[in-house]
């Protein structure tokens, strides 16, 4: 069997981010085409809040590339980066002065790129991207994919906060979406509402600058140690993650962030910092999910999350930071919906030992509309693949 064909694109897009509105920007898209002239079956994969899509979906280590494994199963796989992530245009993010002014954040910038911690004001005192700009960029890439492949619809695979983009996008553009597969989706049941009288309109004028501690800057930065610590919170099984995975993942993140790779201390060569865009999102909540009966109806939905994921299920007292995967499943109005809580997995499932299971589950969903023989319902999936109903 011939190997999937790799092609990288920079898709032109007229930006709708206030920081560079109207500018022609570049959206990075990686394609791994395994159809070899067969029927077009495009799949679009989208990253979450902090991990660039190429590092998340195309990790070139052993068989951890979800995109490549799907391409080997006859899919035409596209991996996209929104502005502010990976190799796409990063407005206002090359200037280290635009990192969050929090003391702990600024301290990470010494000795690289400046010898003493920068304590001055940011040069752009607002958040960066927003829900509408993200939806616009997804739509641009979807149209690009449909034009390249000749297909009429695309399947969507999103990890973590990608649910904030792909869920509302599918509701707004059901004619372009065949199905939705969400891994570890972030879903705030009480998330920000849309503007009154609209389904998905911006609730406030953009960009947002207040409160300054939350929205008065366009980016934060993350460290390798921070990634390791967050991941460690979810490691509950002895062999859940292979040795050396943090090193491999961090190397992949730095490879698509050449500016951030030159930042960070301590003394000596820079260890690198992951530049993370500061977002303002709305329109993904228990009110919008049922709109028009699209999800679970016109657009079938499959949801997968790890039983040890400490990020996607939080407590209701956290307000906008209250997240719940089961509440998302319940809010999906149509009958064409599946949910799986999988054993020995955390939020970083694409890089854990369950990765191959996730690849297979997504393949079966895309090809058959079912997983492990199930076409609807919610289940606990144990380490042997046996299902126990959750409802």
**Segment 213-246, tens digit of pLDDT:** 999 999 999 999 999 999 999 999 999 999 999 9
Checking if the pLDDT of 266 tops 90, the result is no
Report d(CA 39, CA 177) in Å as an integer. 17
**Segment 332-391, tens digit of pLDDT:** 999 999 999 999 999 999 999 999 999 999 999 999 999 999 999 999 999 999 999 997
The DSSP output letter for 377 is: E
| The pair of three-digit structure tokens given for residue 61, joined into one six-digit string | 């280590």
CA distances from 171 to 35, 174, 289, 290 (A): 28, 6, 8, 9
Give me the pLDDT at residue 62, please.
Answer: 97
Query: What share of the chain in percent tops pLDDT 90?
Result: 95
Give the DSSP H/E element, type plus range, for residue 55: helix 53-57
Mean pLDDT of 259-267: 91
Band (118; pLDDT cuts 50, 70, 90): confident
| Average pLDDT of the residues of the chain | 97
Q: Supply the DSSP string of 7-32, one letter for each residue.
A: EEEEEEEE--SGGGTT-EEEEEEEEE
Give me the pLDDT at residue 7, please.
Answer: 98
| The pair of three-digit structure tokens given for residue 150, joined into one six-digit string | 């000749």
The DSSP output letter for 277 is: E
| The pair of three-digit structure tokens given for residue 115, joined into one six-digit string | 């010898």
Phi-psi region of 166 (alpha: psi -120 to 50; beta: other; left: phi over 0): alpha
Backbone angles phi, psi at 196, to 5 degrees: -55, 135
Sheet holding 76-80, edge to edge: 5-14, 24-33, 76-80, 42-46, 154-159, 177-183, 301-306, 337-342, 377-381, 387-389
- What is residue 150's three-state secondary structure? coil
Report d(CA 104, CA 102) in Å as an integer. 6
Of 59-68, 110-119, 176-185, minimum mean pLDDT range:
110-119
- What is residue 305's three-state secondary structure? strand
* Helices and strands (H and E) in the chain: how many: 10, 12
- By the 8 A CB rule, do 77 and 67 touch? yes
Give me the pLDDT at residue 1, please.
Answer: 67
Close Cβ partners of 309 (under 8 Å, ≥ 6 residues apart)? 184, 234, 345, 346, 347, 349
Angle between helix axes 224-232 and 245-255 (nearest 10 degrees) is 140
Report d(CA 228, CA 217) in Å as an integer. 25
Give me the pLDDT at residue 120, please.
Answer: 94
Band (269; pLDDT cuts 50, 70, 90): confident
**Segment 79-111, tens digit of pLDDT:** 999 999 999 999 999 999 999 999 999 999 999
Report d(CA 228, CA 235) in Å as an integer. 10
- State the alpha helices, DSSP H only, in 97-200: 103-107, 131-149, 163-172
Q: Supply the DSSP string of 318-372, one letter for each residue.
A: GGGG---HHHHHHH--SS-EEEEEETT--TTGGGSTTHHHHHHHHHHHHHHS-BT
Q: Which of 27, 87, 32 is nearest to 55 (CA)?
A: 87
Backbone angles phi, psi at 285, to 5 degrees: -160, 180
**Segment 284-332, tens digit of pLDDT:** 999 999 999 999 999 999 999 999 999 999 999 999 999 999 999 999 9
Mean pLDDT of 34-46: 94
| The pair of three-digit structure tokens given for residue 313, joined into one six-digit string | 């299920």
Report d(CA 183, CA 181) in Å as an integer. 7
């Amino acid at each position: 069997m011939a190997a999937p064909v790799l092609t990288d694109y920079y898709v032109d897009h007229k930006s709708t981010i206030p920081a560079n509105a109207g500018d022609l920007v570049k959206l990075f898209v990686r394609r791994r085409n395994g159809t070899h002239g067969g029927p077009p079956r495009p799949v679009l994969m989208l990253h979450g809040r902090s991990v660039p899509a190429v590092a998340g979906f195309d990790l070139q280590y052993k068989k951890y590339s979800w995109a490549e494994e799907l391409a080997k199963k006859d899919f035409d796989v596209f991996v996209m980066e929104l502005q502010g992530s990976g190799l796409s245009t990063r407005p206002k993010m090359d200037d280290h002065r635009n990192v969050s002014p929090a003391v702990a954040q600024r301290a990470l910038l010494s000795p690289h790129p400046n010898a003493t911690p920068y304590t001055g004001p940011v040069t752009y005192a607002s958040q960066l991207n927003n829900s509408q700009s993200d939806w616009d960029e997804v739509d641009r890439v979807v149209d690009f994919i449909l034009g390249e492949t000749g297909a009429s619809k695309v399947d969507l695979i999103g990890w973590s906060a990608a649910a904030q983009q792909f869920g509302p996008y599918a509701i707004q553009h059901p004619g372009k979406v065949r199905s939705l597969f969400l891994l570890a989706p972030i879903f705030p049941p009480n998330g920000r509402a849309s503007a009154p009288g609209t389904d998905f309109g911006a609730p406030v004028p953009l960009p947002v600058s207040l409160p300054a501690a939350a929205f008065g800057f366009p980016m934060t930065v993350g460290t390798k140690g921070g990634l390791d610590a967050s991941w460690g919170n979810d490691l509950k099984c002895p062999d859940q993650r292979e040795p050396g995975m943090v090193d491999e993942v961090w190397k992949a993140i730095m490879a698509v962030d050449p500016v951030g790779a030159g930042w960070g201390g301590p003394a000596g060569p820079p260890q690198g910092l992951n530049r993370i865009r500061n977002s303002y999102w709305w329109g993904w909540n228990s009110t919008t999910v049922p709109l028009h009966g699209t999800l679970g109806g016109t657009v079938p939905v499959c949801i997968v999350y790890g039983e040890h994921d400490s990020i996607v299920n939080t407590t209701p007292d956290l307000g906008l930071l209250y997240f719940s995967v089961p509440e998302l499943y319940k809010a999906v109005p149509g009958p064409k919906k599946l949910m799986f809580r999988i054993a020995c997995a955390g939020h970083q499932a694409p890089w854990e030992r369950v990765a191959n299971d996730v690849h297979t589950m997504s393949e079966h969903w895309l090809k058959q509309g079912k997983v492990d023989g199930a076409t609807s319902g919610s289940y606990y999936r144990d380490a042997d693949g046996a299902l126990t109903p959750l409802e």
